[in-house]
Amino acid sequence: MHPKKLFISIYLLFKTTQPLMASEIFYTNAYERTGWGWLTYDYVTIHMVDLSDSSYVKIIDNAILHDVKEDQSTILFSPVNNQYSYMNEMEAPIIIKDYYNYDTLSIFGHKPRFNSDGNKIVFSSSFTGGINETEMFSSLDIHSTLTNVTTTLSDSIYLGHYILSHDKNRILWTEKINSADSLSIHIHNIDLDQTNVLNAKLPLSTFGTWYFSGLFWGKNNFLYASLKDSNGVSCLHSLDINQNSAFFTNIFSFETDLHILYTQDFSKDKFLFSQRISTYYDYDMVSYDSHYHKIWSHNINNETSDSLFNTGGDHNGEDPRNYFWSSDTSNIYLGTTYNNYGSNNGFFYHFDLSSNMLTKFNDMYLYPLHFNGYRYNNNLIYFENNLNSVPSNNELIYPIFNAEIELDQFSINDSTTFLWTSSQDSDNDSLSYIFYFWDRGISNSQPAFKVFSQNTSDTSITLSNEFIYTIFSEALDDTVSYFRWSVDVTDGLHVLRRDYHNALPITVNYSLVELSTEESIMPKEFALHQNYPNPFNPITSLRYDLPNDGLVNITIYDMMGRVVKTLVNGSQNAGYKSVQWNATNDRNEPISAGLYLYTIQAVEFRQTKKMVLLK
């Protein structure tokens, strides 16, 4: 059997090593794209996005984001993956994740949201109609995380749709009025545990399309809706909830329909609505009814509207699906859908009102609308300040770039230590690290996958060479294969991950051959091998080969030539030998980190090598 060479790729992805300053951020689901060439794999993940540099920090893989607490300490989500996706959001369990724990609640539901203090969760559930039926009703519930008690507010809210007020202390929903084509409007005060029904009604057509929410609940306690006028054109209407009048007032209209765009943030003085503009053109002897959307903003303080920008443009255009304003309402961030003869995942966009420029926010991430047939309730949850910063990155120490590791019948009994620098966290959160071995498969026909992982709070991990060999040999055949290892760091909420494709190479040679009895018992020549591991902390092994019996001396020196430790000094029989050093001197006192020499003197053979002690 010929010795094999195993090439392992090691990576660490470098972000900034400086603590993040407070900045505007938002949480969202985003599609990641991985793979080579045409082979692309999409994973929907929860990210925190820093608006100052457009950077995406992954928090949870294969999960649907629902909400984030005001102090940004806790995330509300449901799991989903590409092996099994929940085809209906009602099937997905609701999970709370704080800095260090996951708590799977005993509730299943749609659009769960935290209330103002974060101790209650509002959600809708139990659709009575199918997903394609024209009438669907749901229950509306409040779950207390303190008492683990769930209270039903209504068992007949229309389409499972509800909204929270800007202070997250009131809930608004609608119910169908018997056989009438109208909806009653209900408002529940969470703190007072009181529900009122407004005098005004909404038509069923308010929620005639999933594309638009149809409602905006201003912090001035006005309810805005896109409702049809007597000519059948959707116009902008408002209702003063404090006055509790019986009818909405038409405040803005076009000759074509307008629709209020969906958002979770009702704390700003402005909201967006779109005007549909139709155009006609002929292509390849076929006549198309194309369209684009003109996006407007409406100011709730003076009830004026301003035209901002256009989206779409033809059947391959992108249209806004969700949005939020910056704190000073000078910028708008949007998630879009791509209208390619239907609705698909689009990009994130940024509109700067000062320059009147609409630009793509990031080319690497998509705003997810569908995944494996599942339509997401994809939220954009904005915070003016990043209350919990991401840990800084760490760097690889050992094995060094292009280091060569030998695995043979002797070193197999030793171990290998993987070392990295510590990360810093400006919030002083406790940090932990996740060590991974990766494989991508010999044929390249599948994405990279993890074959081993281990959590640690230290900046090193020591694995036996026998264990490493077992992992590698199980994944290998007689061809060259490629591996990588990585270290993630987490503060319990954010996870700073390393991408598989950015790698530093290291070569591992192993020749676990069955030698003859004579060869395995007796070496043919003197030899002093490199200590292993190197660098080390605090224990390393020194191997040496003795073809003859004789006196042997192995001594460790500092770089000044002073004796630090005598490891071996006496007569030894011929054979393959090893000795361990625990980084102490002859008085058994720990020594300082640095570069040291070790020398063997056996009969007329003398050799010296270097090693590095880390602390």
Q: Is 234 exposed, middle or buried (0-12, 13-18, 19+ CB in 10 A)?
A: buried
pLDDT score of 129: 47
CA 474, 480, 481, 483 dihedral sign is positive
Q: Give how far the C-alpha of residue 14 lies from the chain's centroid of Cα atoms, to the nearest Å.
A: 17
Q: Is 481 exposed, middle or buried (0-12, 13-18, 19+ CB in 10 A)?
A: middle
DSSP notation for 294-354: EEEEEETTTTEEEEEEEEE-STT-EEEEEEEE-TTSSEEEEEEEE-SSS-EEEEEEEEETT
Alpha-carbon distances of 201 from 197, 198, 204, 227, 237, rounded to whole Å: 10, 8, 10, 11, 12
The helix or strand, by DSSP H or E, that contains position 542, with its residue range, turns out to be strand 540-546
10: closest CA among 464, 482, 614, 532? 482
Tell me if 174 sits within 8 A of 225, measured CB to CB.
no
SS3 category, 429: coil
Which tens digits make up the pLDDT trace of 60-109? Answer: 877 889 999 988 888 998 887 544 344 444 557 888 887 667 788 888 88
31: closest CA among 335, 356, 253, 280? 335
Strand-pairing partners, residue 68, are 75
d(CA 344, CA 87): 16
Q: pLDDT below 50 — which residues of the chain?
A: 1-22, 35-41, 82-89, 129-134, 209-212, 283-286, 314-315, 341-342, 372-374, 441-442, 477-481, 513-519
Which tens digits make up the pLDDT trace of 135-174? Answer: 567 899 999 999 999 999 998 888 788 999 999 999 999 9
SS3 category, 508: strand
> Residues with Cβ < 8 Å from 161, sequence gap 6 or more?
124, 173, 174, 207, 213
Both tokens assigned to 198: 């407004």
> Residues with Cβ < 8 Å from 447, sequence gap 6 or more?
34, 35, 41, 440
Pick the CATH number of 395-510 from 3.40.50.2000, 2.40.30.30, 2.60.40.10, 2.90.10.10: 2.60.40.10
Both tokens assigned to 497: 């991950």
pLDDT score of 154: 93
Tell me if 232 sits within 8 A of 203, measured CB to CB.
no
pLDDT score of 130: 43
Q: Where in the chain is the domain with CATH 2.60.40.1930?
A: 527-613
Question: Does the model's pTM come out above 0.85?
Answer: no
pLDDT score of 39: 41
SS3 category, 568: strand
pLDDT score of 338: 67
Both tokens assigned to 544: 């040496």
pLDDT score of 319: 76
Q: Where in the chain is the domain with CATH 2.60.40.10?
A: 395-510
d(CA 121, CA 318): 33
Q: How many CB atoms within 10 Å of residue 183?
A: 22
pLDDT score of 510: 63
Pick the CATH number of 527-613 from 1.20.1370.20, 2.60.40.1930, 3.40.50.720, 2.40.50.140: 2.60.40.1930
d(CA 576, CA 554): 15
Strand-pairing partners, residue 437, are 452, 485
d(CA 230, CA 227): 10
Angle at 498 (CA atoms; ends 494, 504), nearest 5 degrees:
155
